[in-house]
Structure 1
Amino acid sequence: MRYDVSIVTDNLLCENIKAPGQDTNIIGSKLEGETIKMEVGKDLNIESLQEKETYDEKNKSASISISAGSINGSASQGKTNSNYESVTDQAGIHAGQGGFDIEVGKNTDLKGAVIASEATPDKNKLSTDTLTYSDIENKAEYSANSIGVNINTDKNAKLNEKGITPNIGTPAKGEAESTTKSAIAEGTIEIRSNPNQDLSGLSRDTQNALNELGKIFDKKKVEEQQELANLFGQIAFEEVHKISYRAKDAAQKELDKAKDIGDGSFCLEKAVLV
């Protein structure tokens, strides 16, 4: 079988690939076979692709009602952002117990990809003129915040509902990260132009190279947390308002009491003098 290969987001099951004078590109896909023999005339490029999701929401609301002697209204705004980028299906070459024999005319480049095998190391061989490899950083993050205000000038309203009441939600946020590694199964790696190239940074653990990142943003859960935070903020503000009112009332009573005592002392002093 002969292929001038460019595999993008589709998996291919085969064992013997010849691409003389051509590049072979395996992008976001897998090449699988019990025994894999490849002859690539130029470059072999294997690259994993990230699944990406972005969520952005902005909302604003306002209302007002005016009647004789009172104004009631509210205004609020909120913002939610989420970004997710992760490799969920790692690209690569996967050989069975027959191993792999891959010969590349020029460069072999792995980007978060693997050349894997179920065979013993003596059945795995990669011969390439040059070898480059890099990892892919996965990340997930989100943030949500809201702020609002309520206005009530109704004279019949409860004390803790009068005036301007803030409505500030506690910010919600989260983040996570992982790394999808490039890896080549244990076996022979021959780099013809640089036999002594340092490969200490290249992983040989193809089974644990993916490190898929889970999605951490749950829109419903974040909204529930924001609502709970808003409710807590309102209750806290009302309690502070009540405490302030009670303190003011107690202080006024003490002041009135002091005035009464003062008036009595003054009368007694005048009586003694007379």
Structure 2
Amino acid sequence: MSGHLTRRRVLAGGATALLASIAGCSGATPFVGKRSERDETIAVDGAERLVARTDLGDVTLRAEERDDIDVRITKQASSVTADLSDLAFRVERSGGDLVLRSEFTGDTEFLGGRPSMSIDVTLPRSLPVSSVRSSVGDVSVDGVDGDVDAETDTGDVRLRDVAGSVRAAASTGDVTVAGPDAIRGARTQTGDVAADVPDIDGDVRIESRTGDVAVAVGEDVDADLRVATNTGDVSVTGVSLSDATRTGDSVTGTLGDGGPALAVETRTGDATVSPLS
């Protein structure tokens, strides 16, 4: 992946510098506002799948050897006048789905904005995950089972070591998929995408509008490959690609025996394909 910074990272760096200048020489910026934390234990009670939803805040899922679900709930607001009771955590059961949901139930403050509520979930390895979504916040999923759909509107999506077929999406944020069994797609509009592709589940698109896209392909993947950019560099190295053709800023060819389409594309940025080690 190229070393040039995306616009999002430049803006983030400027914000970090501003915070550092405000903090002075103390080396840390003290938290100003309101914050509360609590833990909740939830019984699986025959649930077949876990679903997690947050309105405003990060959602983190990890699996370990246990029988119940632990949820760390963190509420915070930058305004001391914010009402943290406007944030609600709910547990719902629908069919075989166990749904963990955080919701904002109040009105947007004039100065302080809405408070946020993040949930950090530790679940049994035996309970598959089907869907994880945040409207504003990061999504992180580590070591779970299930065919996972993970999405955020504003934030990063990180999937790691998921035993299943995954799809990851963001509107503004980076998307990282490492060590899945298979992939169904990965995309962002503004941000970078990095994805391991040991296998594909049907036609797959891995793409960004503004950002770099880097894909590591397994040696047993059979696909019709297209790698393309409008503004940037295209690189396909170290993979066995038959019928390879380069036309302008795109490379096409056949991986293995061919079959489903594997598209690796960006409009503004570099598109890179390399072997999965």
TM-score by length of 1: 0.30
Higher strand proportion (structure 1 or 2): 2
Higher relative contact order structure (alpha carbons within 8 Å, sequence separation ≥ 6) = 1
TM-score by length of 2: 0.30
Larger Rg: 1
